[in-house]
A and B are shown apart, each in its own frame.
With several copies, the nearest count.
Chain A
Amino acid sequence: MIPIDISGLTRDDAMHLYQEMLRIRRFEDRVYQLFLKGELPGTLHQYQGQEAVAVGACQALHSDPKNMDWITSTHRPHGHALAKGVSMRGAMAELYGKATGCCGGKGGSMHLGDPDVGMIPAIAIVAGGISVVSGLGLAFKLQKSGQVALCFFGEGASNEGAFHEGVNFAAVQKLPIVYVCENNMYGASTPFHKTSLVANVADRAAVYGIPSVIVDGMDVVAVRTAVAEARERAAAGGGPTLIEAKTYRFAGHSRGDARGYRTREEEAEWVDKDPIERMALAITSTGLADEAALAAVRVAVDTELEDSVEFSRNSPDPDPSDALTDAYATPITIGASS
């Protein structure tokens, strides 16, 4: 395993990035157990392996409530949510379908989000976020607020019409948007090369007249650097950038995917690039911190994690009557019949 390059990073910075990625990894692993135990309803699309993208990208965004940057997410939003600041309690409770969830139990695994931290509910329609993010960017532009919108999507989403219309419109309007494509090589069971004659999603940016960059999606620092640069350009009126992060999902597409469409060898190659392990190795090998310090982080993360599980278990279910609220801001009498 090759450590990532963290030269120039302070200890706190490096440890923070490590911790943020670990929070996602542990959360996902725990969620999977809980799901198998039957504690969580529905289905799961998990994020293990891609942590460096969510953390690197969100760490490059502004979180100051007064001019907060926003993100849009996908059917695979757990990592994005935690990285953007959705509380672990709020995210976990939402997976439990509890009233204390970040969406009050109305969103669920595929729709995690929290406007309070700059994340609209994740959109589980592939490329749906690419349509909607234009509006976030347009609002920020019209409001001259200096805010930026970041849109996460997978390589498979780049084959949707929404990608074409959305990116072209944002480019023409010079909207403050950063597109982050997580190319994990597969859309469900389908390898990207079976769906595109060009190898890189980044190659598609040229036809919209916007800059693009390919970055190692298993290197949190590289991702943060690329996004920070794109963010500044966007905020300065330079328009959108398309960043393609080469990454890999360690788990199946959704729970119960036997991954028969890819080889164990390929998986092993990518596990050897584990973004969290590479970060740990970088930290210890450069002497920024020692094993004990990392262990302490792991303990802290697990404490937060177990707290979120306990919190969720002990949280109340939503009241059935809540199901009929929030369809409208100005309620209308819902259809006469029962």
Chain B
Amino acid sequence: MSTATDTVAVTGERRLTIAEAIREGIAEEMERDPRVFLIGEDVGIPGGFGGAFGVYLGLPEKFGHDRIIDTPISEKAIAGAAVGAAMMGMRPIPDMQYADFLFECMDELVNQAAKMRYMSGGKLKVPLVMRCPVGTANRGAQHGQCPESYFIHVPGLKVVAPSDAYVAKGIIKAAIRDDDPVLVFEHKLLYGSKGREQAGGLDLTAHVPVEDYVFPIGKALIKRIGSTITVVATHLTLYRCLAAAEELAKEGIDCEVIDPVSLQPFDTDTVFASVEKTGRLLIAHEDTLTGGWGAELAARVAEERLFSLAAPIKRVASYDVPLPVAPILEQAVVPTQARITDELRKLAKV
């Protein structure tokens, strides 16, 4: 698994982008389980896009239009159909072109998907996997949000946020096999190699073995071992933290960087163990600060490991404003590598 964290290609490795890895993961699960199907807008139209980010290209030819279902622009219908089909023994993969549109089907997710099993006294299950691309990319306030934190607050839902191809393939397969509703949040700029520059120049592909594997929901990854500060981050921000860590290593600030991968359930044990070692914690995410998942993690540490802390817990996140479109404004909102480096430096000094 540590290969997932390599940032330089080793010859002989099979390095894929996240888009390729997810496509492969979905295809494999559709092969092995006839109950799995895809449903969403523009997912399978011949001559179309293969989903908003091309992840599904080639799948309709393989699996046909019974299992790759194109819908009207009707998010409630998509989510509702997924919830209903899941209860009847299917394994739907509903697609949201942009996570920003989840707000159009919140009722189906929060009041139906998350509660049906409980209301039935445990007689039903709702296995579905909602794919939700997040992340700002100069598209403005309604096409760049990172809404994952809303969903960790919904008992009955599981939330994951893979950041590299190895994890992405493994966890989408785990999510499809899971008996509960899982929301998978993926960052637009990490799908291919376009985002490389934004990611501090780090390679965004990862080795993906050909053998079948799953990456378990609820397990974090230590992406960099260190002793000075524990850093927990996801998606593009994770790469910025890794780049910042390399930069600071030269100054003798040795960061331990953790990719939580799952946001609900959350692998607090891995974070606790690291904080016991470092005594310092910085949490970084592109989601806005107030009420973000970083708040929950900080609260748990302040409750379970308060006496391990040698310094205040620091959160670096997008400021509490909608997303502006101008690149210069956008970068003034999101957690940049510069801001992260700066805060880490300060934190090391406390």
Q: Which A positions have Cβ atoms within 8 angstroms of B?
A: 41-43, 70, 97-98, 101-111, 113-116, 120-121, 123-128, 130-140, 142-143, 149, 156-157, 159-162, 165-166, 168-169, 172-173, 187-191, 194-196, 257-262, 317-318, 320-330, 332-338
Contacts and interface: CB of A to CB of B under 8 A. Distances in A.
Interface residues on chain B, size class? 35 or more
A334 B121 CA distance: 18
Contacts of A330: 178-180
Nearest to A41: B138
B74 A121 contact: no
B332 A321 contact: yes
**A142, A156, A160 — which one has the most chain B CB atoms within 10 A of its CB?**
A142
Contacts of B48: 188-190, 260-261
A143 to B, nearest CB: 7
A334 B265 CA distance: 8
Contact of A124 (B117, B142, B339): B142
Interface in B137-161: 137-143, 155-156, 158
Nearest to B156: A327
A135 B73 contact: no
Interface stretch (B3-11, B104-112, B233-241, B248-256): B104-112
A2 B339 CA distance: 60
Interface in B245-300: 264-265, 268, 288-290, 299-300
**A121, A142, A335 — which one has the most chain B CB atoms within 10 A of its CB?**
A335
Nearest to A70: B88
Contacts of A156: 72-73
B262 to A, nearest CB: 9
Contacts of A257: 49
B171 to A, nearest CB: 14
A120 B118 CA distance: 11
Interface of chain A: mostly helix, strand, loop or mixed: loop
B209 interface: no
A135 B120 contact: no
Given A42-B140, A135-B85, A136-B85, A320 B329 contact: yes
Contact of A120 (B92, B120, B326): B120
Nearest to A320: B332
Contacts of B300: 335-337
B55 interface: no
B72 A103 contact: no
B99 interface: no
Contacts of B42: 188-190
Interface in B72-108: 72-77, 79-90, 92, 100-101, 104, 107-108
A338 B343 contact: yes
22 contacts: A41-B327, A104-B122, A105-B329, A113-B120, A115-B124, A120-B87, A121-B119, A124-B143, A125-B104, A128-B107, A133-B84, A134-B77, A135-B82, A165-B74, A168-B74, A172-B72, A187-B41, A188-B49, A260-B46, A320-B329, A328-B117, A334-B319
